[in-house]
Amino acid sequence: MREKPNNPLALKTLKVWRITATMECFFFLLIPIVYVIAGRYVELPQWPIYVLVIVVFIIGYFKITLFPKLQWKKWRYKIYENEVELMYGVFVVRRVIIPMIRVQHVDTRQGPILRHYGLSSVTISTAATIHEIPGLEEVKADELRDHIAELAREADPNE
């Protein structure tokens, strides 16, 4: 049996995921706000507003506090000479193996929140899909990108 990957994401990734979840929850708060505005023009019952607000706060609590921590604890990766292994998920844990021979290109990506915290994501593209290792320190992400690209070049039988 293969050992589990052991490289974690940067701890600051947890903050980024929580900030993103908070922004999503503020977006979902627009639903009860729109309902209140619509209630000024059309006669609507008041109880759905309270239900919507309570549901948004309950979902927000789980999305902001619980799920990011569970997600961060499960997220692991490992780079082997012939493959990249990813393990992630909260309730359903996925283990993905990406053969180096299938890697078409590797790059780093960072949005404004990741940039603020000095983090980047490494994306690994194959013909079928794109895999992502989110939330690595910028230097580590650049090193990992270059290392995977080198291993993929070595694995390519056409070169």
CA-to-CA distance for 85 and 31, rounded, in angstroms? 40
Backbone angles phi, psi at 15, to 5 degrees: -65, -45
The pairing of beta strand 105-109 with beta strand 119-125 = antiparallel
Average pLDDT, the chain: 92
pLDDT at 129: 94
Do 72 and 13 form a contact (C-beta atoms < 8 A)?
A: yes
What single string gives the DSSP state of each residue in 13-48? HHHHHHHHHHHHHHHHTHHHHHHHHHHHHS---SHH
pLDDT at 155: 75
DSSP lists the bridge partners of residue 12 as none
What domains lie within the chain, and their CATH numbers? 12-71 (no CATH), 76-155 (2.30.29.30)
Reported as a pLDDT band with limits 50, 70 and 90, residue 75 is very high
pLDDT of 159 strictly over 80? no
pLDDT of 91 strictly over 80? yes
* Mean pLDDT value of segment 45-50: 88
pLDDT of 94 strictly over 90? yes
How confident is the model over 105-119, as pLDDT tens digits? 999 999 999 999 999
* Mean pLDDT value of segment 10-31: 93
* 159: helix, strand or coil: coil
Do 78 and 5 form a contact (C-beta atoms < 8 A)?
A: yes
Reported as a pLDDT band with limits 50, 70 and 90, residue 154 is confident
How confident is the model over 53-73, as pLDDT tens digits? 899 899 999 999 999 999 999
CA-to-CA distance for 90 and 96, rounded, in angstroms? 15
pLDDT at 131: 96
Backbone angles phi, psi at 85, to 5 degrees: -115, 130
